Structure 1
């Protein structure tokens, strides 16, 4: 288990309160850019289809090609962040995917668009695992779920921006211009991140000694328990990450992501093809579920932390939010199959996405709880990589269902998988022993004596 240095922080640090908030703002901005770039293709697809004369199956394959590279580099990005640090991996990833986003504008047929999309997925693969590792490094335990929620809320916010921004640019200047401009935004972020970020608070001259003490004084009960009985031998990466709880969480996240990728890639097309929504209106109304989803991400993180601080049950706080919200989302997705109008479809999917995002922070905090600190990136990468195989499956399967039947079957399948994902967590994700140690839960906030360092986390 990695330990923090006991040496005093360097002298002369500026008295800057909560610099970790700056890190969180940057992480959130990165997620906004990530989803804005990622969902741009779905918004631009009706325009691209006119240029390239794509079939439904070809569109499904293009949407799926993103996840071939994405799923692989979910895991590799996590491993690299453990080895080289999340800061460097984030810079590499942002620069590469922004370049691929810009090069999408140069596609001239099905095959070039397929290749550009697959390489784009390679670049975006590490983002969530490296962000999760940065949160684990920079935030006290009682702030982690809300920090994950705020960071990940940037995703649906980026999706919300993508509709009107990409739609406006595509209608005004052509779809190729949209991809070039959002690529430039990503490159600008990478430059700023390289200047302000460090992998750990102790390495950053902008972080005060008091903030370092506050962060390090609230290590998780799991980390403390492992430290107290450690043999001095570092556990192997594979032993640390191939735990039943991590694998079951990954399988559940596969089901969760099936809904997400179905919505991300096919819902805009469904509104145009099945409900007769105009391209202009589609680019606006598809922003609504994303805005609600951003609020859901924020609410999920704060809700988890609230339940944890009131009950002291770290594991329970994650599990109850995940299961309840995922089932609610799945039901709404399934019912959308009966929607008789574009308005009812958008309302149902808005509720579905809101509850889907409420559940999301629980996945990343479950991984932080289950994995040793030095392998949080690798464990998150394994979970995310296995789960994002759904990004290959969902768009392709949906394309075949739409071609051979209709959209109703696609909605029902996505909803059924959501219910399955919730059941997997409820039954198979249980309180685990870490390296043979029963991990205690932390006490409720109200039971922490005054005057301790825990007071800073209230």
Structure 2
């Protein structure tokens, strides 16, 4: 028995490394469209409104697949869903390089979102199965940090590649890389079989647990609201800060790009540190501390809107990114810490649906508010501050994390 436990301790790090690699590629494939869309629009003759439809189509497909992807991972295991997800989004990444019209591009990006949508909830289940409760926040923070890392890498890679080989070849190459990583995961990503002393009736009951069980949890609904709200802030800033800094603050594109790297780099380390610290905070204090960080986000957003210099604007944005990263890690890791392993993927998929709906809605809401205000961003900042406050209040009154889950699952490898 001891040898099996030791084996699982090594195995969990292999799993996390593969999840990190896959999620880096997923974020790279997802982010590159933001930079390639300019070249795509020039080649296909697309308008600005068409660009918005292209960018939103991914989030719609991705949000739709969160709950089904989680349910499939809970029922059939995370390995099958991860392999299918990675393979399908890689195929649609390659097809992106061969589109010929707005309709074909929107359809492909929507299907790309459907394909990628199963990866996050199944990856969350992989962490819940392979890591003890007191290590899951650290593991989740490593997987989530891939987005921040790719936020720094993608502009550098895209800028060089789009200029040298063009957007069609770029998507073809990224798709091929995805197929290679899929093959790598096929051979090295395994599904551990839980060794349990639970009665057979109890195991059978767990297998029959469904989305209804998740929807009956007030804690999960609170996390859904919190995740929607904090990602409304994240996506709002990510989508509109470049335009705000150029049109309102008077920066050129090069200056804007260089300054945007500062909060992105710092957020990588803050997210990793946040996961490490969170695993060591007593359960009874997690909600209160996270609610405080939510209010820090709100205060820093207000200071951003009134900053008198670019230096102070970037300073306050960095504070927002640090605090929001901590809160984001808490919310999604709490879903995999608090729910039974048989429901981990469904729960995280449902919670992550809130974040993707925020990504779909917030940029459009900000655009409407800016147009209605004659180009002013005051009402947009007010909306983001409101979302930060909602997130903080929701976390403060969210039920406490369960503390009676097993400390370390004992596993054997199955294929």
> TM class, shorter-chain normalised?
0.7 to 0.9
Instruction: State whether structure 2 residue 135 is matched by structure 1 residue 166.
Output: no
Q: 2:68 aligns with which of 76, 82, 105?
A: 76
What's the counterpart of residue 410 of structure 1? 380
**C-alpha contact (below 8 Å) 2:332/2:351 kept by paired residues:** no
**CA gap 1:425/1:29 in 2 versus in 1, 3 angstroms:** same
**CA gap 1:332/1:119 in 2 versus in 1, 3 angstroms:** farther
**CA gap 1:143/1:181 in 2 versus in 1, 3 angstroms:** same
What's the counterpart of residue 56 of structure 2? 64
SS of residue in 2 equivalent to 1:360: helix
**C-alpha contact (below 8 Å) 1:304/1:317 kept by paired residues:** no
Instruction: State whether structure 2 residue 273 is matched by structure 1 residue 303.
Output: no
- Once the two structures are overlaid, the 10-residue window that deviates more, 17-26 or 146-155, is 17-26
What's the counterpart of residue 255 of structure 1? 229
Q: 2:29 aligns with which of 37, 53, 57?
A: 37
What's the counterpart of residue 79 of structure 2? 87
**C-alpha contact (below 8 Å) 1:71/1:125 kept by paired residues:** yes
Q: What CA distance in whole angstroms lies between the structure 1 residues aligned with 2:203 and 2:76?
A: 25
What is the CA deviation profile of residues 195-231 of structure 1, one whole-angstrom value per residue up to 9, with x for unaligned ones?
11112167xxxxxxxxxxxxx8xx9xxxx9x98x969
SS of residue in 2 equivalent to 1:306: coil
Q: 2:316 aligns with which of 348, 361, 377?
A: 348
What's the counterpart of residue 332 of structure 1? 300
Q: What CA distance in whole angstroms lies between the structure 2 residues aligned with 1:339 and 1:180?
A: 43
What's the counterpart of residue 205 of structure 1? none
SS of residue in 2 equivalent to 1:79: helix
SS of residue in 1 equivalent to 2:191: coil
SS of residue in 2 equivalent to 1:200: strand
What's the counterpart of residue 413 of structure 2? none
Question: What do you get for the CA RMSD once the two structures are aligned?
Answer: 3.4
Instruction: State whether structure 2 residue 167 is matched by structure 1 residue 199.
Output: no
**CA gap 1:189/1:94 in 2 versus in 1, 3 angstroms:** same
Q: Normalising by structure 2, what TM-score?
A: 0.85
Q: What CA distance in whole angstroms lies between the structure 1 residues aligned with 2:177 and 2:253?
A: 25
Q: 1:367 aligns with which of 332, 335, 340?
A: 335
What is the CA deviation profile of residues 275-319 of structure 1, one whole-angstrom value per residue up to 9, with x for unaligned ones?
454444544443333222221221111011121xxxxx33x3542
SS of residue in 2 equivalent to 1:388: helix
- Once the two structures are overlaid, the 10-residue window that deviates more, 250-259 or 38-47, is 38-47
What's the counterpart of residue 412 of structure 2? none
**CA gap 1:58/1:247 in 2 versus in 1, 3 angstroms:** same
1:230-249 pair list within 5 angstroms: 233-234=205-206, 236-242=209-215, 243-249=217-223
Q: Normalising by structure 1, what TM-score?
A: 0.78
**CA gap 1:231/1:152 in 2 versus in 1, 3 angstroms:** closer
**C-alpha contact (below 8 Å) 2:288/2:395 kept by paired residues:** no
Instruction: State whether structure 2 residue 363 is matched by structure 1 residue 379.
Output: no
What's the counterpart of residue 448 of structure 1? none
Q: What CA distance in whole angstroms lies between the structure 2 residues aligned with 1:246 and 1:305?
A: 19
Unpaired segments ≥5 residues, structure 1: 1-6, 203-215, 308-312, 433-438, 446-451, 454-458
What is the CA deviation profile of residues 351-395 of structure 1, one whole-angstrom value per residue up to 9, with x for unaligned ones?
212221112221122212332221111111122124421122112
Q: Could you tell me how far 1:337 is from its partner in structure 2?
A: 2.9
Q: 1:105 aligns with which of 92, 97, 100?
A: 97
**CA gap 1:412/1:175 in 2 versus in 1, 3 angstroms:** farther
**Equivalent residue pairs, number:** 406
**C-alpha contact (below 8 Å) 2:287/2:400 kept by paired residues:** no
Q: What CA distance in whole angstroms lies between the structure 1 residues aligned with 2:249 and 2:105?
A: 27
What's the counterpart of residue 267 of structure 2? 293
Q: What CA distance in whole angstroms lies between the structure 2 residues aligned with 1:107 and 1:269?
A: 28
